Amino acid sequence: WTCFTNIVNLHVFNVDFFGSIFREASIPPTAAAARQHSLRVYFQVQQWLGNLLPPVLWGWKATKNGLLPLPTDKPPAPDKLMQSISCKCRTDCGGRCGCRRSGLFCS
């Protein structure tokens, strides 16, 4: 948690989680996710310049249907923190639950 990006993430998380309704999209990317994004940006610029690089080394994952962006190579938070977070759903935690889609525990 020494990286500035992660400290900002923690502050934003605390404000959103404890102060109001949690909005996943409001959390800035982790340092690992920002790194993957930067790799993809660099790869794209190199493509425009005519420098062909292997995409799987620059933030992309090869699938049978083509390339997919690799969002991150690390978890968004330590496992203990992820296990302690739960949503405050007022209805059944079905497929529409934002917490469930994010991989959080549904309360």
Angle between helices 31-48 and 4-19 (to 10 degrees): 120
Cβ 36 vs Cβ 69: under 8 Å: yes
> Is pLDDT above 90 for 90?
no
What's the whole-number mean pLDDT along residues 73-97?
70
pLDDT value at residue 49: 98
User: Which two three-digit tokens encode residue 10?
Assistant: 């923690």
Q: Where are the domains of the chain?
A: 4-74, 77-107
> Is pLDDT above 50 for 91?
yes
Query: What confidence tens digit (pLDDT) does each residue in 2-60 have?
Result: 454 555 566 566 555 555 555 666 667 788 888 999 999 999 999 999 999 999 999 99
- End-to-end, the C-alpha distance of the chain in Å comes to 27
User: SS3 string of 34-70?
Assistant: HHHHHHHHHHHHHHHCCCCCCHHHCCEEEECCEEEEC
